[in-house]
Chains A and B, each alone.
Chain A
Amino acid sequence: MTLLKSAYQDLEDIVGPDYISDDPSIQDSYAFQWLAELVRPEQSHYMPRPVAVIMPASTEEVQAITMVCNKYHMKIKPISTGWYHWAGPIKDEDDTLQVDLRRMNRILEIDEKNMFAIVEPYVICAQLQAEVMKRGLNINIIGAGASTSIVASACAYAGMGPSTYWMGHNSDNVLGMEWVTPSGEIIRTGSLGSGDGWFCSEGPGPSIRGICRGFLGSRGGLGVYTKCAIKLSHWPGPKEFNVRGTLPAYRLPIHENFRVYTLAVPSWDAWADIYYKIYDNEIGYIFHRQFTLAGADLGPALWLILNDHTKTLNDIEEMVKRSDIKELTEELRISFQIILAGRSLRDIELQDKILDQVLAETGGWKVKRFCEDDMAEFTNVYLQRLGHKHLNFVWVGGYLGSWMQPGTPDFVKKYVPIAIKGLYRDAAGGLLVQCGGDALMGCGSTVAGGGWSGLEQFVSYDPADRESIKAGTKHMEDAITDAISNGIPPGKEAIYLSLGYKDEKIWDTLANSQQPIIFHFQRKIKEAFDPNDIGDRNYPTLPEDY
């Protein structure tokens, strides 16, 4: 794939020579993407190379770049912080221009009174959170963590995290988008489109949030989002994180009107019950099943290792043999984390009492070791800032997510035993990390106020070992089979795997889905906004004859 000299010149004229490159080393650094090895031929770690990488500094430059892509029939693929194999070009046969948005990195406004912020695509969650906390406000940081782009999670992909229960999903929190469509038009959504500012995503003005992002988002397949307004929530904590401790065991002291707990229950039925009771009683600020991502068998030891900066993974073999750790591991087997935040000391006392009652009614308990100061303070910073999310990869550098079908806790608990059994089975040969069958992590709720949850199986494989990679791919295929044979739709793994499929296989899957009409409707949307087909298939459609 090479870029025509005339196209390169047209693009260089837009951004200047310092902000475009087609050097192979630059191309490769964008082709190299996490998860590529699971879906690419020969377990290659590289997605297809972009023909060039370009870095615009403004919406107008994005628009001009889009017009050049239309002129030369190139795919356009935006990337902000970039963390997934679908962030790069997808198909070898396409000429794809990678648009790196890192120069568009400003917080344009924080409207304290109306509780929203306007940001560009390369503003990350940690930056905005640090700024808005000074004003007594907070943001919903998605599960992928502090390093992610707010615009990406608000406009183009998913959008839930540990604080979604309190603060809402970012598909709800987005209050206005500035969208450069694949045809090069600049559309400002909601009230912004009628000149009334950024306060409402649904108008007066173009009410097209569903078209732009829906639930999962178009993942860069339907144009470029260049700004958005994001709703802010109240923050009853300190204006600044005064973190203490020695890295990586940073700790955030617990403010007097906060409580940080790791809770456990005796069964998955009790797990569903306690989730409902937490929803119904409207307690909690951060609500997440976090620490099981490292596996229920090894996780407890790992978290204690991380909380002691003198320890390494070498300590884990001995630790898991200790009787106290064995007891702790059993105590934590069905566990999750909750952070309560009170608007006043009386409020937090009330929430505490309610939580105690909920625990009594469900047979649950506070896990003493993980509620002691050191672990509670570590949990506090971990879940408030989500700055350790790269621990997803702690075992060996490769992790894939399977399952994660969202639904009520009663629905989720149906697939939990299947997922646990499946991971024990697939890791038995030693090609995947054997950290326990339950490496299920997920938000307390994926919608504001509770009611809907989901658990993602964290499967760790070695990206430097081809056999381990193959085992990872096979696990995903097995998880799909497990799900379908139990009457459950496929989970996250199906999205991962589809990146490696031919178009026809994807169309067959979409055509056999429960509502194929959706993808025909999306084709019509694409025809309207992307007549020259410069967006990639991350925005899924079905051909007319399917």
Chain B
Amino acid sequence: MTLLNYRADALRCTRCSYCKWIPFDLMKSWRFSKGCPSVDYNHFHSYSAGGRLVTALSLLDNRIEVTDRVIDSVFKCQLCGSCDVTCKMCRFDMEPLSALRELRFKLVEEGHAVPKHKSVMEGFRTQNNMLNKVKTKRGDWADGLNLRDLSKDKAEIVFHAGCRYSYDNDLNHVAKASVSILQEAGVDFGILGKEENCCGGRAFNIGYKKDFVTAATKNIKDWTNAGVKTVVTPCADCYYTFKRLYPEIGSEIKVLHMVEFIDQLIKQGKLEFKNSVPMRVTYHDPCYLGRQGEPYIPWKGKEKKIFGQVVIYEPRKPRYNGANGIYEPPRNILRAIPGLELVEMERIKEAAWCCGAGGGVKEAYPDFFTWTANERIEEASSTGAEAIISACPWCERNFIDAMKEGDTNMKVFDVIELVYKAIRKEDF
């Protein structure tokens, strides 16, 4: 696909501005009615999905050139996918989120990348991670845990910690808790440790498609060599990348997020919660686990018209609209933990407000990611919860960073941490 494939999407956009809001049927208040952080922070229409489609069209038709404003409007967006959900409330012939990614690919290929992204990508290419950390230290989090090393051994299940949980010392106890839970449930698995590579998903989202393909190809090869049939990850970004992007380049490996795996283990009676975790919490749906976490369905086809001008696709095109994201497994887990009370925010599931970290925003636009996160923290606070729970290290890191500048006592946990507290007496 190229940007040209989305020219019809741009021409068929009606500037309805649904992309700026959550689905209207779900609105419960003025305060929490917005869906798109980008246009809410930057205001001009070009910072919405509809506006970016116009930018794409104007570039394709040579009406405009790439200016600093174009780069800013194209990249100052988390690609959270809220626009995709609301657009498709009423449309079957639009793919705004895919079009926005293609617009980024085009700009990067033509040399118009964001400078801060360039330095991140240098680290990606040399150290195989998005945090510009030393490659050889990637597996340090697992030191002393006696986990099977799949760079030398084989197993059907690989636990993929991801860049953030591997390197972030404030968060990598979640990776440790994850493997402890798997061990507790008697799961036979291994890790790649210092040989684990970045999934490439964040590179993909900031426009570096070729680098993504390189990373994905290596990961698929490593897994195949280790006899892996299933990859389990606690990271929502990795999950989306493995589940939705890797099949496009040939992967047939099953993908599970840790919350799905834990939900299954609970249902199978393989995990027993021994401890009460008395806490009132609210759950934040990560974009890449929720509305973008839908199953991959292969499709190659073309547009066809019936009844004169009605647009359909031959064969039937999969409809990614957020309806089938991973919403219930994390909630099932939280509801199953003794003593825990789950209260919901107004914007949840397909209508969730983004944490602010995605799409390269965390790497390049600190004011914007902080503002976006604080919007969500305020919403979480409005529920009376004492903690905001998520299932993605990027969300959690972003909330923690934003809270440093705010005035809140809200705590941040991963679902996995709470499971660990419920099954084990000792702390990390």
CB distance from B320 to the nearest CB of A (A): 12
What secondary structure prevails in chain A residues at the interface with B? loop
Please measure, in the bound complex, the distance between the C-alpha atom of A435 and the C-alpha atom of B308, giving whole angstroms. Answer: 9
Q: Does A123 contact B (CB under 8 A)?
A: yes
Decide if A464 touches B15 in the complex (CB within 8 Å): no
Q: Does B96 contact A (CB under 8 A)?
A: no
User: Who on chain B is nearest to A125 by CB?
Assistant: B24
Q: Could you mark each residue 398-425 of chain A with 1 if its beta carbon is under 8 Å from any beta carbon of chain B, else 0?
A: 1000000000000000000000000000
**Which residue of B21, B89, B312 contacts A247 across the interface (Cβ within 8 Å)?**
B89
What is the interface size of chain B, counting residues whose CB is below 8 A from a CB of the partner? 61
Q: Does B88 contact A (CB under 8 A)?
A: yes
Known interface pairs A28-B63, A312-B317. Does A396 touch B54 (Cβ–Cβ under 8 Å)?
Answer: no
Q: Does B321 contact A (CB under 8 A)?
A: yes
Q: Could you mark each residue 249-271 of chain A with 1 if its beta carbon is under 8 Å from any beta carbon of chain B, else 0?
A: 01010000000000000000000
**Which residue of B8, B91, B321 contacts A390 across the interface (Cβ within 8 Å)?**
B91
What are some 30 contacts across the A-B interface (CB < 8 A)?
Answer: A19-B43, A25-B69, A28-B54, A28-B63, A29-B45, A30-B45, A37-B11, A83-B17, A102-B43, A130-B27, A250-B23, A252-B25, A312-B317, A313-B92, A314-B313, A316-B306, A317-B306, A381-B25, A385-B27, A387-B27, A389-B16, A395-B309, A396-B12, A397-B12, A398-B14, A432-B308, A433-B310, A434-B307, A462-B305, A463-B11
Q: Could you mark each residue 100-140 of chain A with 1 if its beta carbon is under 8 Å from any beta carbon of chain B, else 0?
A: 10110001000000000000000110111011000000000
Give every chain B residue within 8 A of A397 (Cβ-Cβ): 11-14, 91, 93-94, 311
**Which residue of A390, A391, A431 contacts B309 across the interface (Cβ within 8 Å)?**
A431
The stretch from A215-223, A238-246, A483-491 touching chain B is A238-246
Please measure, in the bound complex, the distance between the C-alpha atom of A241 and the C-alpha atom of B26, giving whole angstroms. Answer: 7
CB distance from A475 to the nearest CB of B (A): 12
Decide if B310 touches A396 in the complex (CB within 8 Å): yes
Decide if A29 touches B44 in the complex (CB within 8 Å): yes
Decide if B58 touches A247 in the complex (CB within 8 Å): no
The residue in B45, B85, B317 that gathers the most chain A C-beta atoms within 10 A of its C-beta is B45
Decide if B91 touches A26 in the complex (CB within 8 Å): no
CB distance from B245 to the nearest CB of A (A): 23
Give every chain A residue within 8 A of B46 (Cβ-Cβ): 25-26, 29
Q: Which 6 A-B pairs have the closest CB atoms?
A: A397-B12, A387-B24, A390-B90, A23-B69, A146-B24, A464-B8
User: Who on chain A is nearest to B69 by CB?
Assistant: A23
Q: Does B358 contact A (CB under 8 A)?
A: no
Decide if B311 touches A462 in the complex (CB within 8 Å): yes
What is the interface of chain B, defined by CB distance below 8 A to chain A? 7-8, 11-18, 21, 23-30, 33, 43-46, 50-51, 54-55, 57-58, 63-65, 67, 69-70, 73, 85, 88-94, 305-313, 316-317, 319, 321-323, 350
The residue in B55, B91, B321, B350 that gathers the most chain A C-beta atoms within 10 A of its C-beta is B91
User: Who on chain B is nearest to A30 by CB?
Assistant: B45
Query: What is the number of contacts between chain A and chain B, taking CB atoms within 8 Å?
Result: 221
Please measure, in the bound complex, the distance between the C-alpha atom of A25 and the C-alpha atom of B12, giving whole angstroms. Answer: 18
Known interface pairs A24-B58, A433-B307. Does A387 touch B89 (Cβ–Cβ under 8 Å)?
Answer: yes
Decide if A468 touches B309 in the complex (CB within 8 Å): yes
Give every chain B residue within 8 A of A316 (Cβ-Cβ): 306-307, 310, 312
Decide if A430 touches B309 in the complex (CB within 8 Å): yes
**Which residue of B7, B54, B55, B309 contacts A461 across the interface (Cβ within 8 Å)?**
B309
CB contacts under 8 Å to B, within A1-51, are: 19, 21, 23-26, 28-30, 32-34, 37, 45-46
Decide if A430 touches B67 in the complex (CB within 8 Å): no
Please measure, in the bound complex, the distance between the C-alpha atom of A46 and the C-alpha atom of B225, giving whole angstroms. Answer: 54
With contacts A127-B29, A147-B18 known, what are 14 further pairs, Cβ within 8 A? A26-B46, A29-B50, A55-B44, A126-B27, A145-B24, A246-B323, A247-B23, A309-B323, A317-B312, A386-B24, A388-B89, A394-B91, A397-B91, A464-B12
Decide if B17 touches A435 in the complex (CB within 8 Å): no
The residue in B7, B25, B57, B91 that gathers the most chain A C-beta atoms within 10 A of its C-beta is B25
Give every chain B residue within 8 A of A230 (Cβ-Cβ): none
Q: Does A152 contact B (CB under 8 A)?
A: no
User: Who on chain B is nearest to A27 by CB?
Assistant: B64
Decide if B350 touches A247 in the complex (CB within 8 Å): yes
Decide if A55 touches B43 in the complex (CB within 8 Å): yes
Give every chain A residue within 8 A of B91 (Cβ-Cβ): 390, 393-394, 397
User: Who on chain A is nearest to B51 by CB?
Assistant: A29
Decide if B311 touches A395 in the complex (CB within 8 Å): yes
CB distance from B85 to the nearest CB of A (A): 7
Q: Does A363 contact B (CB under 8 A)?
A: no
Known interface pairs A24-B58, A147-B24, A317-B306. Does A390 touch B64 (Cβ–Cβ under 8 Å)?
Answer: no
Give every chain A residue within 8 A of B50 (Cβ-Cβ): 29
**Which residue of A82, A247, A432, A464 contacts B322 across the interface (Cβ within 8 Å)?**
A247
Please measure, in the bound complex, the distance between the C-alpha atom of A542 and the C-alpha atom of B103, giving whole angstroms. Answer: 46
CB distance from A533 to the nearest CB of B (A): 27
CB distance from B366 to the nearest CB of A (A): 16
CB distance from B209 to the nearest CB of A (A): 23
